[in-house]
């Protein structure tokens, strides 16, 4: 023993009293041991007993294992003893990981410098993600069901006698002949013509969109006006221009690619039941839901968004995002917020996307109420190609990230339920990618995806049953299952990409990349700060499409590593 090295203390094993008869039988059977020529003494045949020395060594090993298990012996001392016997630490570590896996303990990566600290960190991350998941599930489904029962009057509030003047604003850019269908649906809206007008703002389209809008206006009888910006101003400033030109009490924002229901406008205005309500949003449905699996999946997600997820915010009249496809605002509130809306920026960089979410949040921040209705419906065309879909999600994710930063100053002052729901959504955007990376490292990605597939299948069946009950057009109940595989790609790859391209000015959807150009044409020289970098949509679309292939290959590698314990690249 080396000088200065302390011997590990261990308590003597407590021996149990032995049966004397069993002891005599053991000694008697030991006499029948067999010695083979040229070999060491070995174990006797079955039923003929075994060597006393072998049995004694077995008892000592059993006692040591029990003492380690009862913490009578320091496990590190036993590990050193095993290493000196030649077993090595690798076998002990493998056995320990097997025992921890059976008990459900999160093991640390084998390359970690501090396995115990890494295990604690992984356990804390897992606990955080489980807590966020429970909060989101409770808010979106359990609390939603409760508020629908307890605050039923909020969902039914209407004032049929309220019939204000209405101006529908349609910002347009490179819609081509498609603008005709939108304007025709707006002209067919059932509302008094002396209180109803339509203003189309052409934001310097490079195709024949302006001519198509003019052709419809000539047959409209004076209630439709088509204006054209001198220079490209973007969607936000185009709407602000129409608000300044209008004299109506209510401004209805409609996207240039939607079809509006005949009762949509009246369904919106009857929801202005009190002066504090500043905005009312309608329901957005998908018109091409039967194109392919991608549009079917989006159809189910849209249904859950309006019939379940937003119900909690609707009950407290604090809907955080009202879609610009179909939303009505009080003109007085828009004029009050005009300076903020006209000069929107983030960290000194002009932001031209996410107008709908930004405007809704500013209305809530000013102390007004926002609500919605399912009586007003419009239909939009959803992306049916994976590249277009990823570009749309990239733009939406940028908007959500900026909204999370902007909402930190005032969302905590709202109802605690709304505040917890809002902050849990913001934290989940960061926590879920961490869960994916942890699953890939520990080889549990397949388990995570399997759970998500089961949840998506159950939600799809619930959607099919509820939508059928309401008499709505439905898609296959399993159409939501692909979302279980698409969501990890969106969170793990699109979220970081959106975070590093917050200064992008392109719409990246429906070939509108040139819609948002430099703002100097609208504000003059030195009007706003130019974007930090000119982000072209083509490389982003290519990168997003390639991300799907990378995610698929990563999942295959993780599955192979989890099954075989070896890291092998899948065959090409």
- Percentage, residues of the chain above pLDDT 70: 65
- In 3-state terms, what secondary structure has residue 503? coil
- Tally the C-alpha atoms within 13 A of residue 125's C-alpha that lie toward its C-beta: 19
pLDDT at 475: 92
Question: What are the backbone dihedrals phi and psi of residue 171, each rounded to the nearest 5 degrees, phi first?
Answer: -75, 140
Does position 81 have pLDDT exceeding 80, yes or no?
Answer: no
Task: Give tens-digit pLDDT for 422-445.
Answer: 877 787 777 788 778 878 887 788
Give the mean model confidence (pLDDT) for residues 75-92: 53
Instruction: Please give the Cα distance from 196 to 278 (Å, whole number).
Output: 19
pLDDT at 538: 45
CA-based end-to-end distance of the chain: 57
What does pTM read for this prediction? 0.68
Instruction: Please give the Cα distance from 209 to 230 (Å, whole number).
Output: 15
Instruction: Please give the Cα distance from 485 to 483 (Å, whole number).
Output: 5
Instruction: Please give the Cα distance from 162 to 192 (Å, whole number).
Output: 12
Element spanning 535, H or E: none
- In 3-state terms, what secondary structure has residue 378? strand
List Cβ<8 Å contacts ≥24 apart for 142-151.
Answer: 143/312, 143/417, 144/308, 144/309, 144/311, 144/312, 144/315, 147/311, 147/312, 147/315, 147/316, 148/311, 148/315, 151/315
Give the residue with greater pLDDT, 400 vs 249: 249
Name residue, tokens 């030109």: 245
State which of 255-259, 401-405, 522-526 shows the largest mean pLDDT. 255-259
Name residue, tokens 């979106």: 140
Instruction: Please give the Cα distance from 570 to 558 (Å, whole number).
Output: 10
Task: Give tens-digit pLDDT for 493-552.
Answer: 888 888 887 776 554 444 444 443 333 333 333 333 233 333 344 444 444 444 444 444
Does position 60 have pLDDT exceeding 80, yes or no?
Answer: no
Distance from CA of residue 103 to its chain's centroid?
31
Mean pLDDT of the chain: 74
List the domains of the chain with CATH numbers.
128-517+533-561 (3.90.550.10)
């Amino acid at each position: 023993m080396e000088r200065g090295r302390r011997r590990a203390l261990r308590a003597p094993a407590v021996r149990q009293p032995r049966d004397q008869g069993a002891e005599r039988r053991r000694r008697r059977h030991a006499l029948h041991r067999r010695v083979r020529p040229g070999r060491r003494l070995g174990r006797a045949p079955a039923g003929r007993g075994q060597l006393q020395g072998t049995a004694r060594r077995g008892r000592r090993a059993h006692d040591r294992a029990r003492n380690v298990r009862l913490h009578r012996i320091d496990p590190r001392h036993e590990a050193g003893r095993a290493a000196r016997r030649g077993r090595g630490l690798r076998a002990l570590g493998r056995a320990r990981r097997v025992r921890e896996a059976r008990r459900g303990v999160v093991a640390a990566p084998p390359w970690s410098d501090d396995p115990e600290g890494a295990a604690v960190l992984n356990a804390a991350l897992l606990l955080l993600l489980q807590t966020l998941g429970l909060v989101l599930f409770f808010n979106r489904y359990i609390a939603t069901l409760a508020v629908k029962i307890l605050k039923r009057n909020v969902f039914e509030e209407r004032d049929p006698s309220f019939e204000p003047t209405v101006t529908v604003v349609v910002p347009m850019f490179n819609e081509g002949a498609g603008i005709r269908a939108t304007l025709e649906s707006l002209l067919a809206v059932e509302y008094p013509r002396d209180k109803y007008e339509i203003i189309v703002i052409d934001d310097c389209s490079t195709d024949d969109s302006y001519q198509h809008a003019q052709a419809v206006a000539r047959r409209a009888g004076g209630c439709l006006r088509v204006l054209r910006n001198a220079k490209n101003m973007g969607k936000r400033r185009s709407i602000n221009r129409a608000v300044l030109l209008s004299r109506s009490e209510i401004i209805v924002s409609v996207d240039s690619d939607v079809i509006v229901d005949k009762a949509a406008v009246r369904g919106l205005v009857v929801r202005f039941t009190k002066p504090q309500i500043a905005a009312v949003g309608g329901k957005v449905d998908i018109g091409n839901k039967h194109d392919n699996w991608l549009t079917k999946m989006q159809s189910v997600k849209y249904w859950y968004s309006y019939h379940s997820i937003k119900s909690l915010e609707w009950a407290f009249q604090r809907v955080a995002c009202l879609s610009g496809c179909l939303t009505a605002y009080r003109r007085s509130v828009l004029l009050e917020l005009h300076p903020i809306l006209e000069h929107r920026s983030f960290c000194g960089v002009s932001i031209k996307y996410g107008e709908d979410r930004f405007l809704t949040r500013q209305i809530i921040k000013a102390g007004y109420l926002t609500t919605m209705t399912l009586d007003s419906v419009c239909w939009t065309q959803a992306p049916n190609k994976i590249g277009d879909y990823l570009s749309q999600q990239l733009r939406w994710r940028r908007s959500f990230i900026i909204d999370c930063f902007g909402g930190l100053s005032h969302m905590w002052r709202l109802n605690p339920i709304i505040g917890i729901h809002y902050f849990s959504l913001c934290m989940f955007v960061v926590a879920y990618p961490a869960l994916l990376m942890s699953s890939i490292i520990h080889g549990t990605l397949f388990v995570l995806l399997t759970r998500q597939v089961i949840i998506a299948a159950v939600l799809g069946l619930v959607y099919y049953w509820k939508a059928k009950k309401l008499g709505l057009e439905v898609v296959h109940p399993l159409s939501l299952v692909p979302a279980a595989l698409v969501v990890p790609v969106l969170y793990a790859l699109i979220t970081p990409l959106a975070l590093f391209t917050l200064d992008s000015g392109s719409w990246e959807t429906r070939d509108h990349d040139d819609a948002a150009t430099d703002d100097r044409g609208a504000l003059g020289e030195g009007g706003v700060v130019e974007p930090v970098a000119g982000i072209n949509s083509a490389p982003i679309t290519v990168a997003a499409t390639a991300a799907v292939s990378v995610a698929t290959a990563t999942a295959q590698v993780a599955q192979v590593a989890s099954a075989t314990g070896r890291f092998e690249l899948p065959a090409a």
